[in-house]
Structure 1
Amino acid sequence: MEHVYQELLKPSPALLQDIARIDGDIMLMGVGGKMGPAMARLAKQAVEEAGIQKKITGVSRFSEPGLQEELNALGINTIKADLLNDAELQALPETQNLIYLAGQKFGTTGRESYTWAMNTYLPGRVAEKFRHARIVAFSTGNVYPLSPVLNGGLAEDIPAAPVGEYGQSCLGRERMFQYFSSIYNTPVFIYRLNYANDVSYGVLLEIAKAVYEQREIDLRMGHVNVIWQGDANEIAIRALLHCEAPAKTVNVSGPETVAVRWLAQEFGKRMDRTPRFVNSEQPDALLSNSAECFRLFGYPRVTLKQMIDLVAAWITEGGKTINKPTHFQEREGKF
C-alpha cells in the first residue's frame, strides 16, 4: 500500500507543463501546516522533473520537530518566522509567486481574537507586503452557509454567509486579499477548499477510524465534499497561472456530493465491520460546487473509491496518522 500511496504523490503531466510556465520562484507561507509540507515536496519534485531552475521556499514557525531539516534536505529553502511579528514578516524576501497557507481554525472558541488576527489582520499585512507577487490565497468552504443537499453545493456566485467566527474571519481574509488586489492590481486566486484528504488525516480517515473502532458516527452533517490532498496541492500550484486582478475566487473540492452513511458502509465492507450511527441526516449541509475548478484544471486524478481503498488499507495495516480532526460534523461554526 505504501508503494501505491507514493505513486499518487508524484506530479502529473499537467503540473509539469504548468510549472514550467510559471515565471519566477515560489514561496509557500505557512508551510508547516497539514498540506504545506507535501505541497512543497510536490513543487520541488515537479521543478526537478520538468528540468527547470526555480527556487521553492517554505516559511513557517516550524514548531514540528525535524520538519525544517527534512525540507532543507530535499533542497527546499526554509525561513523560520513568526508572521504576526511584523519585523519578521517585513524581513521576508520578495517573491514572484506566493501560496498563502497560514491560518487558524481549531481552538477558535475562547481565542477568537487570535483567530481574527491570523485569519484577517495578517492577510492584510501579507497582501500589502507582497503586492507585486501573484498570490494564491487559501480559504475554505466554511465561508458558505449550509445549503440544501439537493442543490448540489454552492457555486462562487452565491453570496458568502459564514456561520460562526472561524468562517467569518476566513471571509475577512478573502476580503483583505480582494481589497489589496483592487488597489495594487495584485493578481490573486482565492482558493476555497472543502475538504482535502490524505491517508494520515481528513474526513475519510475520521469516518474510517470510527468504523474500524466501532464508534458511533453522527449523521447530522450527512453529506460532504472530499478531494485527494495530492490533487488539491497540484491545483494550488497550477492556480498561480490563473491569478487575476480583481481577485478570482474558485471552489476546490471533489465532484461528488458524498453521503456520510454511504462512506461508512463502504469502509465497513473493506474492514469487515458494521458501522454504527447516531442521529439522522439533515436536509442541508456544508457543500461546494466545484464546476469552475474542473473547467480550469480538469477532474481530480484520484477517484473517490481509490481514496476509500487507500484509507481503509492504511488503517487496517496500522499506518501512521496525525491527530488533526476536521470537525466536519460541526453545524454551528464553533471550532
Structure 2
Amino acid sequence: MLLTRDTLPDTISDVTALDGLLCRPSQALMDDLDKVGGDIMILGVAGKMGPTLAGLAKAALPGRRILGVARFSDPSVKAWLQARGVETITCDLLDEAALRGLPKAANIVFMAGRKFGAEGDLSLTWAMNAHVPALVAQVFPQSRIVAFSTGCVYPFVAVNGKGADESVAPDPPGEYAQSCVGRERMFEYFSRRFGTPGRLFRLNYAIDMRYGVLHDIASKVLQGVPIDVSLGHVNFIWQGDAAAQALRCLAHCDVPTSPINVSGHEILGVRDLAVRLGALLGREPVIVGTEQPTAWLTDTSQAVKLFGLPVVDTERLIVWTADWAARSMPSLGKPTKYEVRDGRY
C-alpha cells in the first residue's frame, strides 16, 4: 500500500505498525528516486531516524542495493535493517582507512553526527560534526551527497514572522550548532572543489511516536511536569515525511551543494500544543514562563515548492501522540531539548 492521506490510520497500534507506516513510500518518492540511478548508502544509519529512512528507501526501491553503515553498538538495529533487505556494514567513520574501504555508492545520505551530550566532550562533537564530513566529502567526490543538518544553524528569529529561510546566514549560539555549521562548510567546500552535487538538509524536529517535541510535551502533561514556554514556538514534521524528503533530495541536488529547510510549514505555539494534548489526555497542563519574541524557526517554502505539503498534518500528529502516550507505549527516552535557548545540549 502506498502512503497517501487517505490511507493513514486513525491510531498507530504498536511499534510494528509504526515501523510499517514510517517505511511506507509515496508515489512521489518512488517517482523522484526513479530519476536517480545507482545504489544508496546511508552513513550513520543507526541513529533515531536512520533505520526507518533506510527501510523506506528499500521499500521504494526493492530492486536496488540500500546499504546502511554505522558502528552498530546496538546489534538489534543491524538485525532490524537486515530483516528489511538493507545491507549493513560495520564501520567507525572516524577511521579514515575503514571509510575509504566502503563501496563507492552513487548516492550518499549522510546522517552521522553528535548532539546529545555534545557539551560533555566538545572535541568529539567537532570531530563527528566537522572532521568526519570533510573525510566523507573527499572519499566520495563523485557521489550525490544529501547531508543531514539542523535548523539550529540559524539565529533566533521573530515568532510572528515566517521563520528563517535559506538566505539567512548561520549564526547560532552554542558549540553544538556551531559544529553543525562546520559540517555544512566542509560539504560546501569540497562540493565546490570536486563538483560534487548535494543538498544540506536542515531538519527541524522530526516526530516519531517514541520521541519528538509532541512526545516531550505529552509526557509532561501526563506526569504533571511544568512546561516552560519561554521558547514558546516550534515547527516540526512527521519523521516519515522528513525521511521521504531527504531521499527525494537526491533528485534535486545542486553544485555546489545548497541548503534546504525541512519541517512543518506551520509555526506552532508550545502553550497551544500543551492545551490541545491536555484536552485529549484529560489532564490540565502545568504552564510556566512567558513566551519570548524569538525562537528557532524555519521557513520551509522551498521544500513545499519541491515536494508539496507533508502527507501527515499537525492535527493527526497530535491525535496519534496523545493516543500513544495515553496507552504508555514505548519511548526512546531521548528528549529533544526543544526548550533550550543557549545551544547547550
> Which category of TM-score, normalised to the shorter sequence, fits these structures?
over 0.9
Give the one of 251, 255, 266 matched to 2:265.
255
1:26 has 2:40 as partner:
yes
Partner of 1:121: 131
Deviation at 1:253, TM superposition (A): 0.6
Write out per-residue CA displacement over residues 69-128 of structure 1, whole angstroms, 9 at most, x where no aligned residue.
221122110000111011111111101000000000111113110000000011000001
**Distance across 1 between alignment mates of 2:309 and 2:74:** 33
Write out per-residue CA displacement over residues 115-162 of structure 1, whole angstroms, 9 at most, x where no aligned residue.
000000110000010110000000001100111111221000011101
Alignment of 1:283-302 (within 5 A): 283-302=293-312
**Distance across 1 between alignment mates of 2:333 and 2:136:** 29
Give the one of 124, 134, 147 matched to 2:144.
134
Deviation at 1:181, TM superposition (A): 0.4
Partner of 1:87: 97
AA matched with 1:263 = L
**Distance across 1 between alignment mates of 2:84 and 2:307:** 27
Deviation at 1:212, TM superposition (A): 1.0
Give the one of 205, 210, 225 matched to 1:215.
225
Contact 2:23 2:55 in 1 (8 A): no
Give the one of 95, 112, 116 matched to 1:106.
116
**Distance across 1 between alignment mates of 2:193 and 2:134:** 12
Write out per-residue CA displacement over residues 154-184 of structure 1, whole angstroms, 9 at most, x where no aligned residue.
0000111011100100000000000000010
Deviation at 1:8, TM superposition (A): 5.9
SS in 2 for 1:274: coil
**Distance across 2 between alignment mates of 1:252 and 1:201:** 18
AA matched with 1:10 = R
**Distance across 1 between alignment mates of 2:22 and 2:145:** 26
**Distance across 1 between alignment mates of 2:69 and 2:81:** 11
**Distance across 1 between alignment mates of 2:166 and 2:21:** 32
Computed over aligned residues only, the root mean square deviation of the Cα atoms, in angstroms, reads: 1.1
TM-score between both structures, scaled by the size of structure 1 = 0.97
Contact 2:22 2:239 in 1 (8 A): no
SS in 1 for 2:160: helix
**Distance across 1 between alignment mates of 2:33 and 2:319:** 30
Partner of 1:313: 323
Contact 2:211 2:331 in 1 (8 A): yes
Gaps spanning 5+ residues in structure 2: where? 1-10
AA matched with 1:318 = S
Partner of 2:5: none
1:70 has 2:69 as partner:
no
SS in 2 for 1:78: strand
TM-score between both structures, scaled by the size of structure 2 = 0.94
1:189 has 2:199 as partner:
yes
SS in 1 for 2:261: strand
SS in 2 for 1:150: coil
Partner of 1:275: 285
**Distance across 1 between alignment mates of 2:131 and 2:21:** 39
**Distance across 2 between alignment mates of 1:32 and 1:278:** 36
Partner of 1:60: 70
Contact 2:22 2:52 in 1 (8 A): no
Partner of 1:264: 274
Partner of 1:16: 30
**Distance across 2 between alignment mates of 1:282 and 1:108:** 25
Deviation at 1:320, TM superposition (A): 1.0
Deviation at 1:2, TM superposition (A): 3.0
Contact 2:205 2:235 in 1 (8 A): yes
SS in 1 for 2:42: strand
Partner of 1:174: 184
AA matched with 2:85 = G
Write out per-residue CA displacement over residues 38-64 of structure 1, whole angstroms, 9 at most, x where no aligned residue.
10111111113xxxx210000000112
**Distance across 2 between alignment mates of 1:7 and 1:184:** 38
AA matched with 2:53 = M
Partner of 1:39: 53
**Distance across 1 between alignment mates of 2:12 and 2:158:** 38
Deviation at 1:7, TM superposition (A): 4.2
